[in-house]
């Protein structure tokens, strides 16, 4: 069956092959040069979201891919449109999140001659992508079906971890007009494409990649020791297997909020337990860390203890920013633990868990006794709310959630580059995958990505904004004491009415005046569904005082 023009043929082959590889979602930002791809994807089984801002589109895709583990396609027109994908590409690269970037481009004859909306898009994301391919131009006299489909097959494989860890890939696709499915679009008349563009029989991919699971590796100096398992983001996905091995060995598991292990029998109050280092009686003989550890610096400091310190990563990534590890192991964590024959007995883990329970109760009682709206109070209150997924913004929200939020739901954050850009778009992407999603943001993260709230669609999301009128994180950093223009240069007070802004963008917006009001509003939003913004005004000085007080409480318990 012939196609009306080569651009349509190429776009339809690409869209069909993406669908055959299990790509279920695509983000499309409107544009003319990308028209063939947009129309082909809309015709395909792939669900299409239309997002005006390419930066927001890519971060929304990032949220979906984080939540599902499946790659999401992002489509842009030519020119600076594709450049707006770059922040999300950086985050996906560092976080090993699969994304498929499709940038439409002008044909070769329009490059480097001053043509409108034309920039050099070849390799525009550099080493941030796992793979790049400039697909070239489709012509009526070239049978390109196998080439196009093979390129898509390789792109999906690379995005999912073929050859190295998962991450973003980039296909640059040049289109000559017509880019709509006709031979004559009223401006340009082209030739029909006469070659078949059928895929493999039975709906199978053109080329299928089977990424083999990594086997376990022997851990040095591990037999019979009192070990600590420190587990962060992207360590693996066999939670039941990990907890079974931890119980067999008698090793406590210190699990970050992003590990997906909260709700299991794990230690969560490590940030306060380790306020002055490892407490007496809790010092380990061995530390095994897996995945990306953070955001607590105190937890990361465990890797500096004078004991064997082993970093395990299933993709063999070098996650050791402090350069403290004595060994780095590329292998599956559960399989690796299974190779350790002898543990240390359950008394060691029981000791850690008992201290963790006492610390959790003391911290909760202290926050409740203060009775004020703060970042820690919001994070503590989130523990009792009925969310299935919680997305945390960078800066203080992710730190507070890591320190104070427990529960069986999944927690997401953009911790690869830890930028505040694209947060609300990421949260909306996550929310599209769950029935009840909560997000916690600072005021600047909210304002930085306002365009992400345009056309948020039919999602159930309660976005809680900790509003301290600027960058409160800097109160805890050296500029607070050493910058003569601290407020203007670092805090950057905005003075905006966030309630009015949220309402203007279609959210049901509420400004709360107490912790009880916060809990009531967030609960109601989660149960009712729909899009809600809850503004929690915070006084910076009172919050600083509470943070210092929580450390004092921790010293008494430790």
Q: What string of H, E and C letters represents the secondary structure of 171-232? A: EEEECCCCCCCCCECCCCECCCECCCCCCCHHHCCCCCCCCCCCCCCCCCCCCCCCEEEEEC
Domain boundary pick from 322, 354, 386: 354
Q: Give rounded-to-5 percent helix, strand, coil for the chain.
A: 40, 20, 40
- Please check whether residue 213 lies inside any domain of the structure: no
Residue 431 in contact with residue 60, Cβ under 8 Å?
no
In-domain check, residue 262: yes
Is 278 part of a structural domain of the chain?
yes
Q: Which has the closest alpha carbon to 420: 381, 378, 465, 479?
A: 465
Residue 261 lies in a domain: yes
Q: Is residue 264 part of a domain?
A: yes
Quick one: 192 and 235 in the same domain? Answer: no
Q: In degrees to the nearest 10, what's the CA dihedral of 440, 444, 445, 446?
A: 70
pLDDT score, position 212: 61
Please give the residue range of the domain that contains residue 46: 6-203
296 assigned to some structural domain: yes
> Residue 44: how many CB atoms within 10 A of its CB?
20
Report the pLDDT value the prediction gives residue 318, as an integer from 0 to 100. Answer: 84
Last residue of a domain, one of 150, 168, 203: 203
Distance CA 81, CA 75 (A): 9
Does residue 477 sit in the same domain as residue 528?
Answer: yes
Count the Cβ atoms, other than its own, within 10 Å of residue 516. Answer: 11
Look at residue 219 and tell me if it is in a domain.
no
pLDDT at 215: 78
333 shares its domain with 438:
no
Distance of CA 167 to the CA centre of its chain: 11
Q: State whether 330 and 383 are in the same domain.
A: no
Q: 48 and 13, same structural domain?
A: yes
441 and 331 belong to one structural domain: no
**Does 418 share its domain with 340?**
no
40 and 71 co-located in one domain:
yes
pLDDT for 52: 92
> Do 120 and 198 fall within a single domain?
yes
Sign of the Cα pseudo-torsion (300, 301, 302, 306, in order): positive
Domain boundary among 325, 354, 383: 354
Together in a domain, 328 and 413:
no
How far apart, in whole angstroms, are the C-alpha atoms of residue 239 and residue 371? 36
Number of domains present in the structure of the chain = 3
Q: 210 lies in a domain?
A: no
pLDDT for position 213: 61
Let me know whether 383 and 505 are in one domain: yes
CATH number at residue 244: 3.40.50.1220
Going residue by residue through the chain, which has 558 residues, state the pLDDT in tens, using 9 for 90 and above: 789 999 999 999 999 999 999 999 999 999 999 999 999 999 999 999 999 999 999 999 999 999 999 999 999 999 999 999 999 999 999 999 999 999 999 888 778 787 878 778 899 999 999 999 999 899 999 999 999 999 999 999 999 998 889 999 999 999 999 989 889 888 888 899 999 999 999 999 998 887 666 678 888 888 999 999 999 999 999 999 999 999 999 999 999 999 999 989 999 999 999 999 999 899 999 999 999 998 999 998 887 888 999 999 988 888 788 778 888 888 899 999 999 989 999 999 999 999 999 999 999 999 999 999 999 999 999 999 999 999 999 989 999 999 999 988 999 999 988 888 899 999 999 999 999 999 999 999 999 999 888 877 789 999 999 999 888 778 778 888 888 888 888 888 888 999 999 999 888 999 999 999 999 999 999 999 999 999 999 999 999 999 999 999 999 997
**pLDDT (0 to 100) of residue 392:** 96
What CATH number has the domain bearing residue 116?
A: 3.40.50.970
Same domain membership, residue 482 and residue 408:
yes
- CA–CA gap between residue 120 and residue 111 (Å, rounded): 8
């Amino acid at each position: 069956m012939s196609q009306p023009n080569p651009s349509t043929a190429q776009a339809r082959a690409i869209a069909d092959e993406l669908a055959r590889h299990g790509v279920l979602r695509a983000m499309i930002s409107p544009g003319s040069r990308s028209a063939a791809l947009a129309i082909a994807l809309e015709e395909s089984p792939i669900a299409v979201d239309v997002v005006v801002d390419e930066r927001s589109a890519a971060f929304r895709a990032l949220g979906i891919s984080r939540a599902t583990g499946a790659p999401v396609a992002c489509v842009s027109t030519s020119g600076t449109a594709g450049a707006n994908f770059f922040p999300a590409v950086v985050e996906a690269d560092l976080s090993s999140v699969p994304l498929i970037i499709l940038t439409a481009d002008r044909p070769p004859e329009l490059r480097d001659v001053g043509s409108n909306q034309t920039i050099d898009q070849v390799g525009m994301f550099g080493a941030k992508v796992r793979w790049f391919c400039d697909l070239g131009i489709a012509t009526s006299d070239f049978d390109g079906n196998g080439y196009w489909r093979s390129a898509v097959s390789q792109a999906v494989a690379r995005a999912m971890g073929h050859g190295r860890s998962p991450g973003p890939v980039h296909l640059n696709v040049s289109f000559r007009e017509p880019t709509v499915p006709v031979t004559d679009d009223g401006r340009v008349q082209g030739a029909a494409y006469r070659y078949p563009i059928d895929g493999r029989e039975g709906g199978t991919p053109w080329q299928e990649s089977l990424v083999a699971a990594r086997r376990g590796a022997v851990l040095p100096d591990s037999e019979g020791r009192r070990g600590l398992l420190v587990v962060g983001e992207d360590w693996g996905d066999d939670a039941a297997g990990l907890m079974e091995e931890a119980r067999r060995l008698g090793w406590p598991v210190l699990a970050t909020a992003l590990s997906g292990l909260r709700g299991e029998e794990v230690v969560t109050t490590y940030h306060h337990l380790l306020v002055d280092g490892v407490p007496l009686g809790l010092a380990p003989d061995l530390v095994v860390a897996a995945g990306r550890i953070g955001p607590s610096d105190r937890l990361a400091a465990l890797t500096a203890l004078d004991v064997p310190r082993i970093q395990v990563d299933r993709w063999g990534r070098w996650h050791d920013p402090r350069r403290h590890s004595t060994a780095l192991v590329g292998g599956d964590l559960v399989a690796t633990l299974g190779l350790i024959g002898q543990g240390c007995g359950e008394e060691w883990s029981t000791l850690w868990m008992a201290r963790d329970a006492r610390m959790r109760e003391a911290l909760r009682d202290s926050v409740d006794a203060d009775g004020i709206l703060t970042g820690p109070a919001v994070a503590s209150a989130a523990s009792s709310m009925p969310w299935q997924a919680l997305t945390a913004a960078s800066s203080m929200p992710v730190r507070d959630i890591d320190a104070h939020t427990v529960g069986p739901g999944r927690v997401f954050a953009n911790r690869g580059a830890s930028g505040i850009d694209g947060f609300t778009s990421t949260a909306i992407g996550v929310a599209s995958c769950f029935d009840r999603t909560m997000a916690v943001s600072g005021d600047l993260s909210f304002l930085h990505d306002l365009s992400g709230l345009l056309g948020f669609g039919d999602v159930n999301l309660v976005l809680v904004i900790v509003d301290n009128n600027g960058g409160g994180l800097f109160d805890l950093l050296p500029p607070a004491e050493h910058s003569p223009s601290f407020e203007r240069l670092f805090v950057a007070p905005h003075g905006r009415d966030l309630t009015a802004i949220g309402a203007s963008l279609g959210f049901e917006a509420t400004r709360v005046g107490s912790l009880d009001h916060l809990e009531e509003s967030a609960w109601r939003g989660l149960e009712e569904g729909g899009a809600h913004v809850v503004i929690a005004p915070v006084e910076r000085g009172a919050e600083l005082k509470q943070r210092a007080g929580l450390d004092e409480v921790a010293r008494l318990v430790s």
